[in-house]
Amino acid sequence: MLGLFKTPTRRVALADLPLQGEVKKEEHAMNLMLSDYTTKIPNNVSLAEDRQVLKALEGWHPGYLDWWNDMGPEGFQESLVYLRTAVSVDPKGWAKFDYVRMPEYRWGVLLAPQEEGRLVNFGQHKGEKAWQEIPGEYRAMLRRLVVIQGDTEPASVEQQRHLGKTAPSLYDMRNLFQVNVEEGRHLWAMVYLLQKYFGRDGREEADDLLRRRSGDADAPRMLGAFNEATPDWLSFFMFTFFTDRDGKMQLESLAQSGFDPLSRTCRFMLTEEAHHMFVGETGVGRVLQRTCEAMKAAGIDDPNEIAKVRALGVIDLPTIQKKVNLHYSLSLDLFGSEVSTNAANFYNAGLKGRFQETKIDDDHRLTNDIYKVLKMVDGKIAMVDEPALTALNMRLRDDYTQDCAKGVERWNKMIEKTGVSFRLELPHTAFHRQIGEFAKVQATPKGVIVPDSEWAKVRDDYLPSNDDGDFISSLMTPVSEAGKFAGWISAPKIGIDNKPGDFEYVKIEAA
């Protein structure tokens, strides 16, 4: 039974050091026998009693491990990584830190606690009791939502699999791997929903999530940004700041869902997503910090003295701005078309709400409301009134932009503190878009539409060029001595789990 999840070495060690009398000893023994699955896969969904789902997950697990070994972090599967594992959803079980080999990470199935009397909070079913089972008419729609969200989770692990080899420190390497295992856990969460609520279709979708590959010509991941390579660590930080933040917005709006298990799943995932935001925000921040300090030390005042700055072995600020332009614009595409009947249907059906839906003060039906959307009108960019329901993607995207802007402002404060005169800015919505209204035009980061011929000339002023990429790549040499950092990035202000600066976050050669 459950042979996959046995932890053979640990059972012997459970000697009864505590003197608790014979009864307690028997209890110990009992727990040992029953606890295989529940200890290996922390869960609060009574997996042990749910034979059907248990069987489905057991069937899926070997494929998952194969996928992790093939497509997970390359070269570090045997290393001991100081990781945070959630073993339950209460604050005490939230974050257990310890050294773990990644393939042995305890990917759990954890849902936020069920709220007594929770209701559907928006759309045509507003006020009904939240659904514990899927209403038949919404089955296909809901499956689509879960699969799209689920597909992004393994995708980013695939995109980032080569980065371990060039980690600028053990600290950063550990953060990368933490992000990776949590994406893995998010995949588990989505697969649980598929297997629990969608029967055979769900099981097939769960298998397909392991079949598609980021950037694969034949079976790519479903969304564009998740098929782009993450070639270097600055890209990784930008990705976690911008693209994972799209994930946060999507999860937040799915957490509003009237389908209660989806809501509870996403609510717990959000707490982990915060770690990814942290890696991105502080990662870019530390790159900026290092660049500004190096410029100051070398007496360079003009951030546009790119060659001089690069000669210091740090990434110049204009190039960082170009990376911001690239990743922000790619992430905007993830929100889909400006006008979307799908979004309207999801909302009407009570399946996917707005960001912080319950904190918004309106009728939560939106049938007669309008929302202002940027569109192309007669060759010009203009604000247009759209029905609020079909403009829901844009509303979420605007919330996303605001959230990004706050982080960018923190970066600017940091630059200002060092005394360097430079400000990072988010580019205009119309800049460098592949999806929606602005896909067919070229606009500058300021939002000025330029003809294609002109664009070809200025493209490299706004987006990373091959040369920029080569320069960044040239800096990507690994640093694996505890407490040391590559020259292009500052040390963090504080360690993970309050560890001291020279803590060995990854024991690379652990046998």
Q: Give me the half-sphere count of Cα atoms (radius 13 Å) on the Cβ side of residue 357.
A: 27
Alpha-carbon gap, residue 167 to 310, rounded angstroms: 20
Among 406, 440, 451, 453, contact with other proteins (rule: CB under 8 A): 406
Stretch that binds other proteins, among 134-142, 258-266, 341-349, 402-410 (CB under 8 A): 402-410
- Contacting residues for 171 by C-beta, under 8 A, at least 6 apart: 485, 491, 492, 495, 496, 503, 505
Does the footprint of other proteins cover residue 20 (CB under 8 A)? Answer: yes
Does the footprint of other proteins cover residue 471 (CB under 8 A)? Answer: no
Among 5, 48, 58, 93, contact with other proteins (rule: CB under 8 A): 93
Does the footprint of other proteins cover residue 413 (CB under 8 A)? Answer: yes
**Interface with other proteins in residues 249-288 (CB under 8 A):** 271, 274-275, 277-278, 281-282
What is the pattern of x (binds other proteins, CB under 8 A) and - over residues 325-364?
A: ----------------------------------------
- Contacting residues for 375 by C-beta, under 8 A, at least 6 apart: 338, 381, 382, 383, 384, 437
Q: Which is nearer to other proteins, 158 or 504 (CB)?
A: 504
Which residues does residue 374 pair with via DSSP β-bridges, in sequence order? 383
Q: Give me the half-sphere count of Cα atoms (radius 13 Å) on the Cβ side of residue 102.
A: 36
Does the footprint of other proteins cover residue 443 (CB under 8 A)? Answer: no
Stretch that binds other proteins, among 20-28, 136-144, 341-349, 477-485 (CB under 8 A): 20-28
Among 9, 368, 453, 466, contact with other proteins (rule: CB under 8 A): 9
Q: Which is nearer to other proteins, 271 or 465 (CB)?
A: 271
**Interface with other proteins in residues 97-136 (CB under 8 A):** 97-99
Alpha-carbon gap, residue 485 to 175, rounded angstroms: 14
Among 92, 200, 440, 457, contact with other proteins (rule: CB under 8 A): 92
Q: Which is nearer to other proteins, 376 or 496 (CB)?
A: 496
Burial class (CB in 10 A: 0-12, 13-18, 19+), 19: exposed
- Sign of the CA dihedral 401, 404, 410, 413? negative
Alpha-carbon gap, residue 156 to 244, rounded angstroms: 9
Which residues does residue 387 pair with via DSSP β-bridges, in sequence order? 370
Q: Which is nearer to other proteins, 431 or 505 (CB)?
A: 505
Q: Which is nearer to other proteins, 285 or 436 (CB)?
A: 285
Stretch that binds other proteins, among 13-21, 55-63, 325-333, 370-378 (CB under 8 A): 13-21
Could you tell me how many residues of this chain bind other proteins (CB under 8 A)?
43
Does the footprint of other proteins cover residue 141 (CB under 8 A)? Answer: no
Q: Which is nearer to other proteins, 21 or 136 (CB)?
A: 21
**Interface with other proteins in residues 24-53 (CB under 8 A):** 24
Q: CB 330 → other proteins: shortest distance, Å? A: 21
Buried/exposed code over 174-211 (b: 16+ C-beta within 10 A; e: otherwise)? bbbbbbbbbbbbbbbbbbbbbbbbbeeebbebbeebbe
Q: Which is nearer to other proteins, 13 or 33 (CB)?
A: 13
- Contacting residues for 490 by C-beta, under 8 A, at least 6 apart: 286, 287, 289, 290, 293
Does the footprint of other proteins cover residue 217 (CB under 8 A)? Answer: no
Q: Which is nearer to other proteins, 309 or 420 (CB)?
A: 420
- Are 164 and 173 in contact by the 8 Å Cβ rule? The answer is yes
Among 146, 292, 426, 496, contact with other proteins (rule: CB under 8 A): 496
Q: What is the 3-state secondary structure (H, E, C) of 285-299?
A: HHHHHHHHHHHHHHC
Does the footprint of other proteins cover residue 508 (CB under 8 A)? Answer: no
Q: CB 241 → other proteins: shortest distance, Å? A: 10
Stretch that binds other proteins, among 90-98, 162-170, 201-209, 394-402 (CB under 8 A): 90-98
Alpha-carbon gap, residue 221 to 85, rounded angstroms: 27
- Are 257 and 266 in contact by the 8 Å Cβ rule? The answer is yes
Alpha-carbon gap, residue 375 to 382, rounded angstroms: 5
DSSP strand pairing (380-387 vs 370-377): antiparallel
Which residues does residue 51 pair with via DSSP β-bridges, in sequence order? none
Three-state SS for 84?
strand
Three-state SS for 100?
strand
Does the footprint of other proteins cover residue 8 (CB under 8 A)? Answer: no
Q: Which is nearer to other proteins, 278 or 455 (CB)?
A: 278
Q: Which is nearer to other proteins, 423 or 507 (CB)?
A: 507
Among 48, 63, 65, 94, contact with other proteins (rule: CB under 8 A): 94
Q: Which residues bind other proteins (CB under 8 A)?
A: 9-10, 12-21, 24, 80, 91-95, 97-99, 271, 274-275, 277-278, 281-282, 406-407, 410, 413, 493-500, 503, 507
